[in-house]
Amino acid sequence: RINQQVIHVSEHQSKQNERKELQEGRRREAITAATCLTEALVDHLNVGVAKAYVNQRKLDHEVKTLQVQAGQFSKQTGQWISMVEGFNQALKEIGDVENWARSIEMDMRTIATALEYVHKGQLTSASS
């Protein structure tokens, strides 16, 4: 009877050892699977971060380009405004010259009319 109990205990310990080994194997598999999952998640996040970084660099470059172009456009617009102001000034000067010419023309007509009148008066008095 004691032999049977010893065998029974021995079988029980043997089965318990098998279960422990099985559990240890499953624990290692679970750790390996968790590690793989963690690495995959980190890799996925790193790809997203890398894309965000590349996009940010592109945006920074585009902003700098836009700033340069805006500065050039502002300078060109200033030049255009100066040209238009110069053109307006030239038009005003042309208008001033035109008014001056009209004034001189009126004065010349007045003088011409007066000379004509005097000339006719002289002709009339000479014929009488």
pLDDT single digits (tens) 85-105: 999 998 888 888 888 899 999
Query: What does the longest C-alpha to C-alpha distance in the chain come to?
Result: 186
Q: List, for residues 17-58, the tens digit of each pLDDT value.
A: 999 999 999 999 999 999 999 999 888 888 888 899 999 999
Tokens of 92: 């005003």
Query: What span, in angstroms and rounded, lies between the C-alpha atoms of 33 and 40?
Result: 10
Query: What span, in angstroms and rounded, lies between the C-alpha atoms of 14 and 11?
Result: 5
pTM of the model: 0.47
End-to-end Cα distance, the chain: 186
